[in-house]
Amino acid sequence: MMTSSSDRSKKMKALFGGVDPKKLDIPNATAPKNNQESRRVSSGTVKSMQGAFSAIEQENEELRQKLDSMEAVVELDPTMVDSSPYRDRFENDQEASDALDELKISIKGEGQRIPVLVRPHPTEPGRFQLAYGHRRTAAIQSLHEEAEDPDQVRLKAYIRDLSDAELIKEQSLENAVRENLSWIELAVWAQQLRSTGLKYADMEPILGIAKTGISRLLNISEKIPNDIARAIGRAKGVGRPKWQSLADALSEASAEKRVRAILERTDFVNADGSERIAKAITAAKGKAKKPEKPQTFNLKSGDKVFAKVKQTSKETLVSIPKDESGFGEWLTENMSELREQYMSNGSKKPGR
């Protein structure tokens, strides 16, 4: 802040307060010969020094403003940071899990190089919400849980007051420097942006898509329930036609129920994204294959059951009762030799 003229006068007096007035009365051979010239020289000197002080004060004020505008990096308890209310990424895929494990190893070895951006939580005092840095935060939160001394694991962050619209824009900037969102991630992200009240003109630069493209994204994403979309996952490489097929199939009354019935099945969970959406479309159309019923039978010696067999197209399971444990041990010890005898027969091969 600039100082007043009285403050500057005080500074001038402080600078020259040690000068003896009597010495100033001693004639100086080089001094100006008339009072008018003396006053002119003195006045010019003072004005020059006052100008110098004003310039210094202005530089100090500009420096202070720059310092005030700079954000300090703080270290937060990772457990006090919540995800953004707007989820743009599907992080439940195996590929996302593998990438997170790699990031954990990197941060554990080299530390967190880039701070995340958070805002004060709008409804929970003392907590924070992420704007960007979701993977870094997830990795550090996981390291915090695993640490012997969790207090030593901190999350480096910038704290900034952000409106919902500002938070979304910051979050979108992070996406711009990361790999592209998959088609369904982009569609769900567009849906969330729209839910905040943003207009198409505001969404276009965020998504990098024209209005007609945004309309197509919304037209499909609004027909696919969020839980179903996220269960299918990123489905990287799967484009609009497949998602359009699913949206169309889900228009039938009981289609959602049929799709949700397969979401927890092992064959669905273990499939990749393209296989999952294919299974979801089949289920939505009412053509889902029922889980294969295994064939079971007992192996007997006379009337005594010494083993039980459960057989499917994928595997054969043999269980041996406890009272036949001796036979079970013998079978385990001789399994390799028995298989060699089977293979030497020549009439059978593995997998046939």
252 shares a domain with 195: yes
80 shares a domain with 136: yes
Residue 64 lies in a domain: no
* Residue, of 93 and 300, whose pLDDT is higher: 300
Which of 138, 162, 179 is the endpoint of a domain? 179
* CA–CA separation, 245 and 98 (whole Å): 30
190 shares a domain with 143: no
| pLDDT for the residue numbered 347 | 53
Q: List the single range of 7-11, 110-114, 148-152 with lowest mean pLDDT.
A: 7-11
Q: How many domains does the chain have?
A: 3
Task: Return the DSSP state at 223.
Answer: T
216 shares a domain with 153: no
225 shares a domain with 319: no
* Residue, of 25 and 104, whose pLDDT is higher: 104
Residue with tokens 């329930």: 225
Q: Is the pLDDT score of 78 beyond 90? A: yes
Q: Is the pLDDT score of 340 beyond 70? A: yes
Which of 135, 161, 179 is the endpoint of a domain? 179
243 shares a domain with 212: yes
Dump pLDDT digits (tens) for 210-250: 999 999 999 999 999 999 999 998 888 899 999 999 999 99
Angle CA 327–332–338, to nearest 5: 95
163 shares a domain with 108: yes
Q: Is the pLDDT score of 307 beyond 50? A: yes
241 shares a domain with 154: no
For residues 168, 169, 175, 176, the Cα torsion angle rounded to the nearest 10 degrees is 170
Residue 43 lies in a domain: no
Q: Please provide residue 131's backbone torsions phi and psi, each rounded to the nearest 5 degrees.
A: -100, -50
The pTM of this model reads 0.54
Q: List the single range of 52-66, 130-144, 152-166 with lowest mean pLDDT.
A: 52-66
Domain extent for 80: 69-179
230 shares a domain with 159: no
Which of 253, 269, 291 is the endpoint of a domain? 291
Residue 75 lies in a domain: yes
147 shares a domain with 195: no
Q: Which of 123, 6, 129 is nearest to 76 (CA)?
A: 129
What's the CATH code of the domain at 112?
A: 3.90.1530.30
| pLDDT for the residue numbered 237 | 87
Residue 153 lies in a domain: yes
In the predicted model, what is the mean pLDDT of residues 35-60?
58
Task: Return the DSSP state at 290.
Answer: P
Residue 29 lies in a domain: no
228 shares a domain with 157: no
* CA–CA separation, 39 and 30 (whole Å): 15
Residue 51 lies in a domain: no
229 shares a domain with 242: yes
* Cβ contact 199:211 at 8 Å: no
Amino acid at 311: Q
Q: Which of 266, 262, 264, 291 is nearest to 279 (CA)?
A: 262
Residue 212 lies in a domain: yes
Residue 119 lies in a domain: yes
